[in-house]
Amino acid sequence: MVKQIPSAISPAETEILRIVWQLGKATVQNVCEKLPAKRKITYATVQTLLRRLEKKGYLKHEARGKAHVFFAAVKSEDVIKRSVSDFLDRLFGGDPAPLMQYLAEHGKIGADDIESLKELANGKVKVRSKK
């Protein structure tokens, strides 16, 4: 049985969801503290985004005193898989080759990345994550 992924989310919601995934469990304050300093986003806005993500089915919460502690209701891998698949279908008809060509031509991936992808395709190693 395939688990249903909730509806699409905005870039701001995605940013908040990624922080919750990184932290495991988070209060509104935890998320605010994890946002980049250049992001001018208020506590109330973060709270609204967390509640939207919960309403859409991406997050759940438990009460701890007066605070709500949010945690993921869906796995990041499931969301990434669906999002990438939808993106490939919409823009490239499901064919990843034009996307890879675009990334290579515009300097988004280099020779080391391409070599890692070749090894992954041949079943030799996992692609390392860039952070």
Q: For the stretch 77-89, what's the b/e string if a residue is b when 16 or more beta carbons lie within 10 angstroms of its beta carbon?
A: eebeeeeeeeeee
User: Is residue 32 domain-resident?
Assistant: yes
Residue 63: inside a domain, yes or no?
A: yes
The share of the chain scoring above pLDDT 90, in percent, equals 57
Residue 118 has which token pair?
């070749």
Q: Tell me: do 16 and 64 sit in the same domain.
A: yes
- The least confident of 1-10, 25-34, 89-98, 112-121 is 1-10
Q: What angle do CA 81, 86, 89 make, to 5 degrees?
A: 125
Residue % of the chain over a pLDDT of 70: 90
16 lies in the same domain as 66: yes
Expressed as residue numbers, the domain containing 15 is 11-72
Same domain membership, residue 82 and residue 65: no
Q: What is the pLDDT averaged over residues 45-51?
A: 97
Q: pTM, whole model, 2 decimals?
A: 0.77
Q: How confident is the model at residue 17 (pLDDT cuts 50, 70, 90)?
A: very high
Mean of the per-residue pLDDT values of the chain: 89
Residue 45: which CATH number? 1.10.10.10
pLDDT digit string (tens) for 84-105? 998 899 999 999 989 988 998 9
Quick check: is 26 in a domain? yes
**pLDDT band at residue 1 under the 50/70/90 scheme:** very low
Q: Examine the domain organization and report whether 65 and 88 are in the same domain.
A: no
The token pair at 62 is 């438990």
Q: Are 43 and 63 in contact (CB under 8 A)?
A: no
- DSSP annotation of 106 reads T
Reported confidence tier of residue 120, pLDDT bands at 50, 70, 90: confident
